[in-house]
Structure formats: C-alpha cells, structure tokens
Amino acid sequence: MFVRQLDYLVTLAREKHFARAAEICCVSQPALSAAVRNLETELGVAIVQRGQRFQGFTPEGERILDWARQTLAALEGMRQEASMSRVKLSGTLRLGAIPTTMPIVSLLTGPCRAQHADLRQRVLSLSTEEIMRRLDDFELDIGLTYLEDQRLSGFHVQPLYRERYMLLARDQLAMGDRTEISWEDAAELPLCLLTAHMQNRRIVDAAFRRADVQPNVAVETDSVFALYSQVRHAGLFSVVPHSLLCLFESRDEMAAIPLVPELSRAIGMISLAHDPCSPVVTAARNIAAQIDLQARFDAYISGSYQPITSND
C-alpha cells in the first residue's frame, strides 16, 4: 500500500469524477483507476461502485475512505512535527471562514506568516455546515464561525470576539446627529443586506422580527465587498457586524452607529478535538490567543482606534 493510493482515493471522493481526480493528482485516468483496483485487491474489499462513470463508494469503501483521510491527516501532522524540530514549521494551514469573517482573517494569517514564514496558507469562504463537514473529512485545519451552534459540541472551540451589529451609511450626514438607531427606524431605510440563505442575514432578519417590523430591502448580495459598494456608491444603508468596520477604517466618508437594542454574536475558531493536535493547528491557536480582536473591533465604535501608518 502506498500513500499515493490513499491520496487518489480521497481526491476521487472529493471530485466524484475519475478524470478530474486524475488531473488533480497529475496522473492518467487509467493509472488512477489501476491504483484504486490494486488497493481493493490488497485489502480484499470492493471500494468503488463500478460503472461507466463514478457512482460512489461501497459501504466498505466509505469506511476505508474514513481511514484514508485519517491516515493522510496523521502523515501531514507527522511531517509538520518533524518540521518543527528543524525550528521552521512548514506545510499548509487550511482555513475556512464564514463570509462575514473573511475581511478579518488576515488579522490572524498575517501574524501566523510573520512567525512561520515557510507555512503556506489556504483560506476559503464557506458556510458553517461546510466548515464542519470539511473539518470532519480532514479537508480543513481550522474554521472561523458563530459559536452559538449545538453542533459544535464535538469540536475544540476557541472564542475570539463578540460581534456587535451596526447600521452602516455612506457618511455621517446620512446619520444626522444620531448616536444610535432602533431596529424600527432602520427598517424604514433602503437597505442592502446579505442574501436570505446566509447565516448573518438570518440573524439580522430575526432581530427585525423581534422588533415586529419588515425591513425595506432594496438590494441583496452574497458578497461583503459588494455590500460595501452598494452603501458607498448607491446611497443605501446596511446592517453589519462591527468587525467589518476594519474594511472602512481609512475611509472617513463611511459611518456606522450601534443598533438598539444591542445585537451581538460570539465568533470563534473551531478545530477537531484530536490529541495529538496538528502542529499547524497548535500554531494557529497560539497566535489567536495572543491577539485581542475584541479590543480592536470595539475601538471602531468608541472612536479610539488609530490606524497603523508607514511611520509606526
């Protein structure tokens, strides 16, 4: 049995297509198929359902696939552990983040790169459900998501900050002399919000329902950056977590004020609760523990945050 056979198997499970899996693994399709058949012969079980095209795995194959994923993850962990003994940590940190946390991921990956220059990083925007699935399948190392989810009970959870929701406008003139705004008043403004299937939007919709109002949603988008553009250039308003204000810290024309009653949600880092822990996960956890994201984001509201300049 060769490690590459297990890699072929895991790639085939992910791509669900022999030709695509072979292309990703940089081998011919016949070579990949032969490697899978040789693995079946060695183990004495049928792993893949046979047909003119990929039809899935047999029940026995699904169990073999779980072991293949665990074996490859353990092997990568062993390589990372060995790299740490050489002082430099190498490999790839695979991070999945819910869309509203994507703008702040660099606050974690930047210090990580500063401490571990040889460590590559892959960052993906994913739903909470997809983050949990990929963690379970050893396709991610860590995830950033909301923590108020009972399904997280089987994961290692590291709280990072509580996001507070703000009304975002193009400039302070649009806010008048307000220092806060009610959900009822915000509902009357032309809003750009994230699309209904996104977890952030469900949280915002629930707040409007509690206020017994229907928001005036003029534009929906699945992109935080498109949301910013709609507020900046189309004269719309939005409801955003205060952590997103890091996108606008250098733009004086953008303004935000707290919504009342206050709405907040806990955000944190999740990973598999395995022992021993992968060195890259340990590194990410340690770096996250050193950064006070709560103080940084709260400073956007208080006005005490000072952007870093080239002279600092």
Q: What does the pLDDT read at residue 252?
A: 60
Q: With CA atoms as reference, report the closest residue to 116 among 137, 136, 141.
A: 141
- Spatial contact of 219 and 230, defined as CB atoms under 8 Å apart: yes
- Angle at Cα 272 formed by Cα 269 and Cα 276, nearest 5°? 115
Picking from 80, 115, 147, the residue at the C-terminal end of a domain is 80
User: The tokens 């996250």 sit on which residue?
Assistant: 288
- Spatial contact of 139 and 68, defined as CB atoms under 8 Å apart: no
Other beta carbons within 10 angstroms of residue 2's beta carbon come to 11
Q: What is the CATH number of the domain that holds 56?
A: 1.10.10.10
Distance CA 270, CA 96 (A): 10
Q: What does the pLDDT read at residue 87?
A: 56
Q: What does the pLDDT read at residue 130?
A: 94
Q: What does the pLDDT read at residue 253?
A: 67
Co-location of 168 and 295 in the same domain: yes
Co-location of 26 and 117 in the same domain: no
pTM: 0.69
Q: Is residue 85 part of a domain?
A: no
Q: What is the CATH number of the domain that holds 194?
A: 3.40.190.290
Picking from 40, 59, 80, the residue at the C-terminal end of a domain is 80
Q: What does the pLDDT read at residue 67?
A: 86
Q: Is residue 129 part of a domain?
A: yes
Q: What does the pLDDT read at residue 94?
A: 94
Q: Is residue 311 part of a domain?
A: yes
The pair of three-digit structure tokens given for residue 298, joined into one six-digit string = 């709260």
Co-location of 168 and 137 in the same domain: yes
Q: Is residue 86 part of a domain?
A: no
Residue type, 37: R
Mean pLDDT by 10-residue block, N- to C-terminus, for the chain (312 residues)? 82 89 87 87 87 83 88 78 64 93 92 90 94 91 91 90 93 83 96 94 95 97 91 93 78 81 95 83 91 89 46 35
Quote the domain boundaries for residue 41: 3-80
The pair of three-digit structure tokens given for residue 36, joined into one six-digit string = 């899978």
Residues pairing with 78 in the sheet: none
Number of domains in the chain: 2
Co-location of 213 and 291 in the same domain: yes
Residues pairing with 155 in the sheet: 272
Co-location of 32 and 180 in the same domain: no
Picking from 45, 80, 115, the residue at the C-terminal end of a domain is 80
Q: Is residue 256 part of a domain?
A: yes
Co-location of 109 and 69 in the same domain: no
Q: What does the pLDDT read at residue 86?
A: 47
Residue environment code for 180-206, b if the CB has 16+ CB neighbours within 10 A, otherwise e: ebebeebbebebbbbeeebbbbebbbe
Co-location of 54 and 113 in the same domain: no
Co-location of 7 and 129 in the same domain: no
Co-location of 169 and 38 in the same domain: no
Co-location of 112 and 255 in the same domain: yes
- Spatial contact of 194 and 219, defined as CB atoms under 8 Å apart: no
Q: Is residue 169 part of a domain?
A: yes
